[in-house]
Amino acid sequence: MAPTCYLPALGMVNALGSDLAGISAGLFAGDTRGMVLESDWLPGRSARVGRARMAALPALPAGLAAHDSRNNRLLLAALSQITTELHAAIARFGAHRIAVVLGTSTSGIFEGEAAVAHHARHGTLPEGFHYGRQELGDCARFVADALALSGPAYTVSTACTSSAKAMVSAQRLIQSGLCDAVIAGGVDTLCRLTLSGFGALEATTADLCNPMSANRRGINIGEAAAVFLVSREASPVALLGGGESSDAHHVSAPDPSGRGAEAAIRQALDAAGVAPEAVSYLNLHGTATPKNDEMESRAVARLFPAGVPCSSTKPLTGHTLGAAGATELGFCWLALSPHNVERRLPPHMWDGQPDPDLPTLALVQVGDTIDRPGRRVMLSSSFAFGGSNCCLAIGDAR
């Protein structure tokens, strides 16, 4: 029988805050103040973005200067929150038995943009610029180098399912016996290339995103880092499993029926060994684009005919793209934490105007709590371009 995987530690930074206490307080209060309107991202118009709520990001050690990027600095800010647990795992298992699996879609593109602009003005790249820092694999290499790890280290980049798939990969590495622990999660940072791309698709809005509303107009982009220690050693919260599917309906639009999303969620339920009615909470992908919310609400309504408490947390952080899966799984982890003594759930912040063309969902309001006894199980869904779908199951360890 494959060993159970556990989640003993989590570090996060996003628009809600720069540590777990601040993020938890903002999460359960429905704090949208981190979603700021800025004018320098898109030509001729403003964009509302979820900027990491930190006064300054930490500098990388001098020996790791080749990895220096905003993406890796944000990652370091999250990683530093679980330093004690990481060093204990390295001492316990050995550096060769610790893997690194991270998800990203931006890596060091922000620095790449600045380098291209410098070249256009001066005909040369900036002094000290290293192309490798914008390669997608750089964040995993950075963590492995920073901690002197020699186990597997790689990056998953499947757009908005990247860090959710990284968590599935982490579980497989442990269950296969290749590793005893994995540093897993995701990181993405704001950059013009990403915002311009979504702007060209007419998928963004300068208003606060409004998932599942009749008035939804599109997404807000955010930046975040979320890093878990995944271990085979028991702790209160378990990674129960995941489900993945690829419906390949369209390069950027989801299958309107939601069948691919439904398949991924069913797999996660099967992996966790729970029935739909046993789920305490579902974190929706909930981008507030017309097509995503349409297909996702249909899939959820079919899977949970009796209803399930659910919410999209993207109005609190923005859509953090490659970091979204791990970030939103982190919100489930905070809901399961013993520090959440009131058993509160992440609320769904919107204008309260349901779309009559969408199935009605049991959307969580500020102050709602888990009202069912027994073991708590939560799901977090992530969907991406190209029909990539992933759902993660997390819950109280038995």
Q: Which residues touch 63 (CB under 8 Å, ≥6 apart)?
A: none
* pLDDT for the residue 1: 46
CA 107 – CA 136 distance, rounded (Å): 5
- Bridge partners (DSSP) listed for residue 379: 282, 393
Q: Is 21 exposed, middle or buried (0-12, 13-18, 19+ CB in 10 A)?
A: exposed
Which residue ranges make up each domain of the chain? 5-396
CA 322 – CA 101 distance, rounded (Å): 13
> Taking a C-beta distance cutoff of 8 angstroms, is the pair 322, 227 a contact?
no
Q: Which residues touch 100 (CB under 8 Å, ≥6 apart)?
A: 140, 143, 144, 149, 151, 152, 153, 154, 182, 183, 184
Q: Which residues are known catalytic residues?
A: 160, 285, 319
Q: Which two tokens stand for residue 128?
A: 């000290």
Entry pTM: 0.97
* pLDDT for the residue 202: 86
Within 10 angstroms of residue 91's Cβ, the number of other Cβ atoms is 9
CA 115 – CA 60 distance, rounded (Å): 19
Distance spanning both ends of the chain, measured CA to CA: 16
* pLDDT for the residue 373: 84
Within 10 angstroms of residue 301's Cβ, the number of other Cβ atoms is 17
- CA-nearest of 89, 391, 92 to 260 is 391
Q: Is 302 helix (H, G, I), strand (E, B) or coil?
A: helix
- Superfamily, domain 5-396: Thiolase/Chalcone synthase (3.40.47.10)
> Taking a C-beta distance cutoff of 8 angstroms, is the pair 204, 121 a contact?
no
> Taking a C-beta distance cutoff of 8 angstroms, is the pair 162, 186 a contact?
yes
The residue ranges of the chain whose pLDDT is under 50 are 1
CA 181 – CA 289 distance, rounded (Å): 37
Q: Which two tokens stand for residue 212?
A: 């599942």
> Taking a C-beta distance cutoff of 8 angstroms, is the pair 184, 162 a contact?
no
* pLDDT for the residue 38: 93
- CA-nearest of 141, 143, 15 to 75 is 143
pLDDT digits (tens, 9 = 90+) for 252-301: 778 888 899 999 999 999 999 999 999 999 999 999 999 999 999 999 99
> Taking a C-beta distance cutoff of 8 angstroms, is the pair 49, 33 a contact?
no
DSSP string, 87-137: HHHHHHH-GGGEEEEEE-S-TTHHHHHHHHHHHHHHSSPPTT--GGGGSTT
* pLDDT for the residue 3: 67
